[in-house]
Structure 1
Amino acid sequence: MASISIPVLVLWGDEYPFTPVDGPVGKYFSSLPSQLSNVKLIVLEEVGHCPRDDGPDLVQEKLLP
């Protein structure tokens, strides 16, 4: 990730059953915004594995700005 210089927006569903935000992969991505200025992480509430299906309005709200 350190070699990526373009802006990165990570949308993560807090109800993702396979890769929870408090698991190893989730912790890695949660740590990135404090290490890399181009990375932003947004945890979407009540959203699971497919954010665009589980919370399309939330995803659109975060992508449009």
Structure 2
Amino acid sequence: MPSISIPVLVLWGDKDPFTPLDGPVGKYFSSLPSKLSNVKLIVLEGVGHCPHDDKPELVHEKLLS
């Protein structure tokens, strides 16, 4: 991730059972916005591992803004 210079939007479901925010992968991605100015993390409430399947309207709202 540090070598990526384009804007990165990370959408993460707070109910993800496979890669929870408090797990090692989640902690890594949660830390990125404070280290890299091009990374933005949005945690989606009530969403699991596949936000685009669970709540496509919410994902679209975040992507299109």
* Equivalent AA in structure 2 for residue 56 of structure 1: P
Task: Give the TM-score, by structure 1 length.
Answer: 0.97
Count of residues in correspondence between the two structures: 65
Q: Determine what percentage of the aligned residue pairs are the same residue.
A: 83
Q: Deviations over 1:18-47 (max 9, x none)?
A: 110111110000000000000000000000
Q: CA deviation at 1:57?
A: 1.1
In the alignment, structure 1 segments of 5+ residues that lack a partner are none
* Equivalent AA in structure 1 for residue 25 of structure 2: V
* Equivalent AA in structure 2 for residue 37 of structure 1: S
In the alignment, structure 2 segments of 5+ residues that lack a partner are none
Query: Superposition RMSD on alpha carbons, in Å?
Result: 0.5
